[in-house]
């Protein structure tokens, strides 16, 4: 038997479903732990159970004897709603909490007592007394006492082999309705001997005290937590049961909803075929059993979403059954409920936290909510006599994945955009190229990026897009991605989750958009980007681009959030291209941005470092943003620097003002934006959810305050916009800054003419300060702080006509009552403090009269009660007045209920202004971040300057780049010191710089810092240099680092040459190119030849190039080339004292990390080998071998002895022809040419 602690408040008992013939307990008092409860084990009737008994102690006797008196508590618990008790079991009691019905077994005589706060169970050989401790409950138990009766959905099924009476009783026992008939059953008193208690923990982490008089069986059920599962104890314990009960789910029999096996190419793993006899089924041994109505409801949802994790709502709890329970235990740290069926769960208040965690772990989470209460079910059955439902209705209301989370609470943990991408790869053409369409949707902000372009065989442009967007989900058609698209996905975003989803054609996408009415409010009928693609004459671009967009929209429709996001119409063009112009393949939608391909973003570590993090990247070095929209915008600015010199200058002036005369205003603006919510996401959430669909629909039964959550989202949007408005006001108040900066004036002053200037428009992407007068109306409409505190909006007078009318009616009713009271006071002669209205319980407006005036009360007044010194009366005259006031009060409540909906609708009418304000706030945040970074550089770097970016040269003039004392732009984030260096390319200097030097001398670092500084200059930021000046570039191309592509069957050398090939095809005279040690992946001769050819090609193209190499032959070949500047990373080489072979390989190389002119004759690789820790004997052997190879190469170069004599004679002749007076530069050069010819 089970006895609760004496100080525990009573709980309603719960009946455990079984196949034996017990009398059902009161409805609604059943533990969810008993869902799918198996029939209890039965022993032979011939073997009567033996029980250890003893005279009960005084406490025991008191409990047992008090049993008849607890029947009133039983009846009280029966009618009380919101009671949830988790039964704790031990030993043979596990059948009482098992969550799945099992085939019938032999009958056994057993009796169970459920009354008030205790349950007494008679068991064979074992008697257990359990006491629950309320203080040790988990969050699952936190609201156990408050749960409504409708969470008792899952009940145990009786077996078909049971008697007809037993089946009827089970049917009665299984119901979520309180109208279910209840049958009483007799109780059995049992005396037990108390022994020392032992503490255990049940399935809900509730502490129980067990007292047993006999050893428990070895097969006793055990509570399992996540640690047990990770240690190998968990899902395995249910394997035997699963194989027995669900043979149709075993690998050799499983099929999808259409009956296809996994080896079928059309097999759909997201569905499951249930047996044709469902809900009647047979287990593996052929025994027939029936799934209860609650089970059947869960299985139908699971069969339609077999690849998903179901959160099945039962009352105030989300339950996870079968295979989903294993995931809940493993990923969420939940605990299994006791019983044969895997079962776990958590309360409604933890939904956002747990659902987000499951989605971020890669699961597709399906939320199943109740859409009616037990009372509504009873009413429906009462109206429809043919209705046989015994469980409340439920619907799939929300689907969550990594990329489809839109709830504010789920997005707060990550300010970065989470894109869902669809890729449509058209047929490849003969030259290996073909059209590619891509659509990326950021569900948190409702922003769609759509584009189509003609890509090369290596999908270079697709790689660029994926490198910038870093999607978290990629939709893959059932037939799979093409080879080039697949390789691009694996290389650029291997962390992204690939989900199989059917692709949509362009025509289907347009038809669906029209049928759903997404853009019925747009005058153009479609967003501009989609309309341009629809009307394009290029059929492949139309099919790929719109098809990709339609696929993403269809995916969002399956996730039940399409109506929230698509109608907002925030569709932007991603890429555009001319099918006949191959050099434009990697350009963004606007020619005003610098093109950077995936190799550049990766090689320069613009967004991510080699470890996949952000430390030391350019983005991390520039990111001092204080808001989510600012961080997302900064990423776009870094990936898409400006090419317009005037637009760059406009940004630079704004940054200069924010760290100059506007520094105080900038600090105020940053403080406001830091404290504000994510305005962009909050606005999108409010506008998207205004239709009340999905989980926020009005018919969904939620026990937490859903209305308050919606109100908080709405207030977050308002507060975000208000923060932007106040921030712009603070900056606008700094007159000097706004006068000198057109950008700040356009962002902070409404309708300023500067916003229409081309340079300003380009600098801020066309964003300008909108008219926020509607926000002032919202501020005056109601008290935001009061609404946040009370959870409801009570608008001021004049805001809502319905509410104003109701308020007038209420005021009139109060006035009539006050007038009547004044007349009564005059009749009785009492003072206003003596004769007044009072309320007593539900009776309102009773007239309270002092005893001394009671004799003057009219005879038709009715006495209603009294208190010391006073009596209370009512009369017929008050009845209509009270009724009038009650009606007015109800009208006011109805009006208040609709106020929020009407205010949100009014808010949505100005959605474009709110989104524009959010964009303004993001730009201010980014400009302020650049100003803060500049201040930090001035404090830590030796020299900082504002770069001068000139327009791109025309009429054949060379592009230039010149820097003095340039340090590494990411030095602060890398926490390392870097030696400043100069860089000069183009103009008076050669545009091609060939860099040699020792290994680890700093060549790669030098290339990176020059390219990163150029990118920073085009973003509008300051750079750590005494001087930085260049003409605007149109693209940055980088070939750096060594990596292979095993999945694509490409070696390191193949990847290297593929990236180099894309560079050579697309680079122009205005591009900046950096190549690091090209050709090292093959034989020395081949590598040297390829490096020489590539260098010659770039020299002829006249683009600014930094080319580092260890092939010293290149330096020899271009020593006299006026278009090539030779440079090397300087070092100091010290040889130990002594002469001869002993000094070979023992040089000490000191890296100076400074760029010096001229060629470095050796790479000193043996020195790096010594630094790497190779044995000294190996290093010396390598040095000797290197010296021998160098001598051999010289031998091959000079030839035999006769040839050497001719060379010496020629050199002597050259020197003999040159006198001291002739040592002019032309003569020396001619002498060098003769000597070279001789050699």
pLDDT digits (tens, 9 = 90+) for 147-196: 344 444 343 333 333 333 333 333 333 333 333 333 334 344 444 443 33
Residue 62 has pLDDT above 50, yes or no: no
Q: Supply the pLDDT for residue 555.
A: 95
Q: How far apart are CA 513 and CA 448, in angstroms?
A: 15
**Of 125 and 414, more confident:** 414
Q: Supply the pLDDT for residue 173.
A: 33
Q: Supply the pLDDT for residue 407.
A: 87
- 288-290 and 207-212 beta bridge pairing: unpaired
Which of 502-511, 803-812, 1046-1055 holds the top average pLDDT? Answer: 502-511
User: Would you call 1231 exposed, middle or buried from its count of C-beta atoms within 10 A (0-12, 13-18, 19+)?
Assistant: middle
Residue 255 has pLDDT above 80, yes or no: yes
The string of pLDDT tens digits covering residues 1008-1044 is 999 999 999 999 999 999 999 999 999 999 988 666 5
- 447-455 and 1072-1076 beta bridge pairing: unpaired
CB 345 within 8 A of CB 317: yes
Q: How far is CA 504 from CA 53, 541, 546, in A?
A: 73, 14, 9
The string of pLDDT tens digits covering residues 590-637 is 367 898 888 899 889 999 888 878 888 999 999 999 999 999 999 999
Rounded to an integer, what is the distance from CA 622 to the centroid of its chain? 23
User: Per residue in 977-1001, is it b (16+ CB within 10 Å) or e — as a string?
Assistant: ebbbbbbbbbbeebbbbbbbbbbbb
| Least confident window among 370-379, 941-950, 1087-1096 | 1087-1096
Spatial neighbors of 925 by CB under 8 A, at least 6 apart, are: 625, 626, 627, 629, 630, 633, 670, 673
Q: Rounded to 5 degrees, what angle do the CA atoms 926, 930, 935 make?
A: 145
Spatial neighbors of 59 by CB under 8 A, at least 6 apart, are: none
Residue 508 has pLDDT above 50, yes or no: yes
| DSSP H or E stretch at residue 1058 | helix 1052-1066
**Average pLDDT, rounded, for the chain:** 77
What is the number of residues in the chain?
A: 1239
User: Would you call 734 exposed, middle or buried from its count of C-beta atoms within 10 A (0-12, 13-18, 19+)?
Assistant: buried
Q: How far is CA 1172 from CA 726, 754, 977, 1134, 1165, in A?
A: 57, 59, 22, 19, 11
CB 648 within 8 A of CB 642: yes
Q: How far apart are CA 241 and CA 235, in angstroms?
A: 11
Q: In what order do the strands lie in the sheet with 843-850?
A: 836-840, 843-850, 870-874, 862-867
Number of C-alpha atoms within 13 angstroms, CB side, residue 55?
Answer: 2
Q: How far apart are CA 1158 and CA 1129, in angstroms?
A: 10
Q: Supply the pLDDT for residue 701.
A: 87
CB 678 within 8 A of CB 436: no
Q: What residues does 318 pair with on adjacent strands?
A: 313, 346
Q: Supply the pLDDT for residue 200.
A: 39
Q: Supply the pLDDT for residue 443.
A: 93
Q: Which two tokens stand for residue 78?
A: 């029966």
Q: How far apart are CA 1054 and CA 554, in angstroms?
A: 38
Q: Supply the pLDDT for residue 1219.
A: 64
| Least confident window among 36-45, 206-215, 1135-1144 | 206-215
Q: Which two tokens stand for residue 399?
A: 């689907």
Spatial neighbors of 1080 by CB under 8 A, at least 6 apart, are: 1042, 1087, 1110
Q: Does 279 sit behind a cis peptide bond, omega within 30 degrees of 0 on the bond before it?
A: yes
CB 927 within 8 A of CB 658: yes
Q: What residues does 1027 pair with on adjacent strands?
A: 964
Spatial neighbors of 684 by CB under 8 A, at least 6 apart, are: 406, 444, 445, 446, 565, 568, 915
Q: What residues does 452 pair with on adjacent strands?
A: 437
Q: How far apart are CA 646 and CA 237, in angstroms?
A: 70
Q: Supply the pLDDT for residue 450.
A: 94
Residue 1184 has pLDDT above 90, yes or no: no
Q: How far apart are CA 1232 and CA 1227, in angstroms?
A: 9
**Of 190 and 639, more confident:** 639
Quick one: CA dihedral 739, 745, 751, 752, positive or negative? positive
128 Ramachandran zone, left/alpha/beta (phi>0; psi -120 to 50): beta
Q: Taking Cα atoms as reference points, which of 322, 396, 400 lies closest to residue 358?
A: 400
Phi and psi angles of residue 91, each rounded to the nearest 5 degrees, phi first: 55, -130
Q: Supply the pLDDT for residue 1185.
A: 81
Q: Taking Cα atoms as reference points, which of 424, 418, 390 lies closest to residue 406?
A: 418
Phi and psi angles of residue 304, each rounded to the nearest 5 degrees, phi first: -85, -15
| DSSP H or E stretch at residue 461 | helix 460-469
Q: Supply the pLDDT for residue 1200.
A: 59
Q: How far apart are CA 469 and CA 484, in angstroms?
A: 18
User: Would you call 464 exposed, middle or buried from its count of C-beta atoms within 10 A (0-12, 13-18, 19+)?
Assistant: buried
Average pLDDT over residues 845-851: 89
Spatial neighbors of 436 by CB under 8 A, at least 6 apart, are: 423, 424, 425, 426, 452, 453, 454, 455, 459, 461, 462, 485, 544
Q: How far is CA 286 from CA 245, 275, 1176, in A?
A: 10, 13, 75
Q: Which two tokens stand for residue 478?
A: 């059932």
The string of pLDDT tens digits covering residues 359-403 is 999 999 999 999 998 999 999 999 988 888 889 999 999 999 999
List, as one string, the DSSP characters of 832-860: TTTSEEEEETTEEEEEEEEGGGGGGS-TT
Q: How far apart are CA 857 and CA 872, in angstroms?
A: 10
The string of pLDDT tens digits covering residues 329-358 is 999 999 998 888 899 999 999 999 999 999
Q: How confident is the model at residue 232 (pLDDT cuts 50, 70, 90)?
A: very low
List, as one string, the DSSP characters of 1155-1191: EEES--S---HHHHHHHTT--HHHHHHHHHHHHHHHH
Provide the 8-state DSSP code for 654: H
Q: Supply the pLDDT for residue 3.
A: 36
> Could you tell me how many helices (H) and strands (E) the chain has, helices first?
40, 34
Q: How far apart are CA 1179 and CA 1147, in angstroms?
A: 11
Residue 792 has pLDDT above 80, yes or no: yes
Report the share of the chain in percent with pLDDT over 90: 35
Q: How far apart are CA 678 and CA 87, in angstroms?
A: 44
The string of pLDDT tens digits covering residues 657-673 is 999 888 999 999 999 99
Average pLDDT over residues 91-111: 35
3-state helix, strand, coil in the chain (%, to 5): 45, 15, 40
Q: Which two tokens stand for residue 688?
A: 């998207």
pTM of the model: 0.74
Q: Supply the pLDDT for residue 691.
A: 67
- 473-476 and 419-425 beta bridge pairing: parallel
**Of 223 and 242, more confident:** 242
């Amino acid at each position: 038997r089970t006895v609760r602690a004496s100080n525990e408040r009573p709980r309603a008992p719960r009946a455990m479903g079984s196949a034996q013939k017990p009398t059902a307990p009161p409805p609604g008092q059943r533990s969810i732990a008993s869902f799918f409860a198996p029939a209890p084990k039965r022993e032979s009737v011939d073997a009567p159970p033996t029980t250890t008994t003893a005279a009960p102690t005084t406490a025991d006797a008191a409990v047992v004897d008090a049993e008849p008196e607890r029947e009133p508590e039983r009846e009280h618990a029966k009618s009380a709603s919101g009671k949830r008790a988790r039964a704790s079991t031990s030993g043979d009691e596990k059948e009482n909490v098992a969550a799945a019905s099992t085939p019938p077994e032999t009958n056994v005589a057993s009796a169970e007592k459920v009354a008030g706060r205790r349950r007494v169970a008679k068991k064979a050989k074992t008697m257990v007394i359990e006491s629950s401790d309320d203080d040790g409950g988990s969050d699952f138990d936190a609201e156990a006492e408050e749960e409504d009766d409708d969470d008792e959905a899952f009940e145990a099924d009786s077996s078909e082999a049971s008697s007809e009476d037993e089946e009827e009783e089970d049917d009665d026992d299984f119901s979520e309705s309180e109208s279910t008939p209840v049958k009483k059953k007799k109780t059995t008193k049992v005396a037990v001997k108390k022994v020392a208690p032992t503490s255990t923990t049940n399935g809900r982490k509730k502490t129980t005290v067990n007292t047993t008089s006999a050893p428990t069986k070895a097969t006793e059920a055990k509570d399992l937590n996540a640690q047990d599962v990770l240690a190998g104890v968990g899902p395995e314990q249910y394997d035997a049961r699963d194989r027995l009960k669900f043979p149709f789910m075993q690998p050799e029999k499983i099929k999808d909803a259409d009956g296809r096996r996994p080896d079928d190419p059309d097999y759909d793993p997201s569905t499951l075929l249930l047996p044709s006899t469902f809900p009647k089924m047979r287990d593996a041994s052929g025994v027939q059993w029936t799934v209860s109505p609650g089970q059947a409801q869960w299985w139908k949802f699971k069969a339609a979403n077999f690849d998903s994790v179901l959160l099945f709502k039962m009352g105030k709890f989300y339950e996870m059954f079968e295979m989903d329970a294993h995931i809940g235990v493993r990923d969420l740290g939940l605990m299994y409920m006791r019983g044969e069926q895997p079962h776990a769960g958590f309360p409604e208040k933890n939904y956002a936290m747990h659902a987000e965690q499951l989605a971020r772990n890669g699961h597709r989470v399906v939320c199943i909510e109740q859409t009616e209460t037990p009372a509504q079910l009873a009413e429906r059955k009462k109206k429809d006599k043919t209705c046989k439902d015994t469980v409340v209705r439920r619907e799939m209301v929300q689907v969550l994945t990594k990329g489809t989370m839109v709830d504010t609470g789920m997005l707060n943990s990550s300010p970065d955009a989470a894109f869902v991408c669809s890729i449509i790869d058209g047929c490849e053409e003969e030259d290996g190229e073909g059209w590619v369409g891509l659509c990326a949707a950021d569900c948190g902000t409702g922003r769609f990026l759509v584009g189509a372009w003609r890509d090369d065989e290596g999908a270079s442009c697709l790689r660029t897009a994926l490198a910038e967007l870093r999607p978290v989900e990629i939709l893959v058609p059932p037939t799979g991605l093409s080879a080039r698209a697949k390789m691009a996905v694996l290389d650029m975003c291997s962390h992204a989750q690939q989900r199989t989803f059917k692709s949509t054609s362009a025509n289907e996408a347009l038809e669906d958009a029209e049928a759903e009415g997404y853009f019925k409010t747009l005058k153009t009928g479609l967003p501009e980007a989609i309309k341009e693609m629809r009307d394009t004459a290029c059929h492949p671009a139309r099919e790929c681009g719109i098809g990709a967009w339609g696929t993403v929209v269809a995916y969002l429709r399956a996730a039940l959030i399409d109506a929230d996001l698509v109608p907002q119409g925030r569709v932007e063009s991603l890429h555009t291209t001319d099918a006949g112009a191959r050099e434009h393949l990697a350009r963004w939608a606007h020619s005003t941005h610098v093109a950077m391909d995936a190799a550049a973003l990766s090689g320069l570590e613009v967004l991510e470092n080699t470890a996949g993090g952000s430390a030391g990247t350019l983005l991390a070095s520039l990111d001092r943003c204080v808001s989510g929209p600012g961080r997302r915008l900064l990423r776009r600015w870094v990936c898409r620097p400006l090419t317009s010199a005037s637009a760059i200058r406009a940004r630079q002036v704004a940054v200069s003002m924010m760290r100059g005369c506007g520094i105080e205003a900038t600090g105020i603006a940053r403080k406001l934006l830091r404290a504000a919510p994510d305005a962009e996401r909050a606005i999108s959430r409010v506008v998207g959810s205004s239709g009340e669909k999905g989980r926020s629909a009005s018919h969904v039964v939620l026990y937490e305050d859903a209305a308050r959550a919606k109100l908080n989202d709405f207030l977050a949007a308002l507060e975000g916009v208000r923060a932007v408005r106040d921030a712009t006001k603070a900056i606008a108040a700094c007159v000097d800054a706004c006068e000198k900066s057109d950008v700040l004036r356009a962002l902070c002053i409404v309708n300023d003419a500067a916003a229409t200037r081309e340079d300003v428009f380009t600098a801020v992407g066309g964003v300008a300060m909108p008219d926020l007068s509607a926000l002032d109306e919202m501020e005056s409409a109601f008290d935001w702080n009061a609404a946040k505190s009370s959870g409801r909006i009570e608008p001021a007078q004049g805001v809502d006509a319905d509410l104003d009318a109701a308020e007038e009616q209420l005021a009139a009713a109060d006035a009539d009552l006050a007038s009547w009271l004044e007349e009564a006071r005059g009749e009785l002669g009492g003072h206003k403090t003596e004769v007044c209205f009072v309320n007593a319980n539900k009776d309102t407006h009773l007239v309270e009269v002092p005893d001394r005036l009671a004799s003057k009360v009219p005879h038709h007044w009715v006495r209603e009660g009294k208190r010391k010194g006073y009596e209370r009366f009512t009369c017929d005259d008050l009845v209509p007045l009270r009724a009038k006031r009650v009606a007015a009060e109800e009208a006011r409540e109805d009006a208040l209920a609709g106020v929020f909906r009407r205010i949100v609708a009014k808010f949505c009418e100005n959605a474009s202004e709110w989104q524009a304000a959010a964009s303004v706030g993001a730009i201010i945040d980014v400009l302020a971040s650049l100003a803060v970074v500049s201040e930090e550089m001035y404090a830590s770097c030796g020299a900082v300057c504002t770069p001068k970016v000139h327009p791109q040269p025309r009429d054949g003039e060379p592009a230039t780049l010149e820097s003095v004392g340039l340090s590494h732009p990411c030095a602060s984030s890398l926490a390392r010191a870097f030696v400043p260096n100069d860089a000069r390319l183009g103009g008076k200097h050669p545009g091609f710089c060939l860099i040699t030097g020792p290994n680890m001398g700093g060549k790669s670092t030098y290339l990176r810092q020059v390219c990163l500084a150029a990118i920073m200059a085009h973003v509008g930021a300051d750079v750590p240099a005494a001087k930085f000046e260049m003409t605007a570039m149109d693209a940055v191309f980088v070939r750096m680092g060594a990596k292979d592509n095993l999945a694509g069957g490409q070696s390191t050398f193949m990847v290297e040459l593929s990236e180099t090939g894309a560079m050579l095809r697309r680079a122009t005279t205005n591009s900046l190119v950096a190549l690091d040690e090209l050709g090292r992946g093959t034989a020395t001769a081949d590598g040297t030849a390829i490096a020489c050819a590539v260098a010659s090609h770039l020299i002829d193209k006249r683009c600014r190039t930094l080319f580092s190499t260890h092939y010293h032959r290149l330096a020899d070949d271009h020593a006299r080339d006026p278009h090539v500047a030779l440079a090397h990373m300087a070092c100091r080489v010290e040889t130990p004292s002594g002469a001869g072979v002993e000094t070979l390989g023992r040089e000490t190389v000191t890296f100076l990390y400074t760029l010096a002119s001229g060629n470095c004759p050796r790479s000193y690789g043996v020195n790096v080998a010594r630094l790497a820790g190779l044995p000294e004997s190996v290093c010396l052997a390598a040095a000797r071998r290197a010296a021998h190879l160098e001598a051999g190469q010289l031998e091959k170069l000079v030839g035999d002895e006769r040839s050497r004599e001719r060379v010496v004679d020629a050199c002597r002749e050259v020197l003999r022809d040159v006198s001291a007076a002739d040592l002019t530069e032309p003569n020396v050069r001619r002498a060098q040419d003769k000597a070279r010819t001789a050699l």
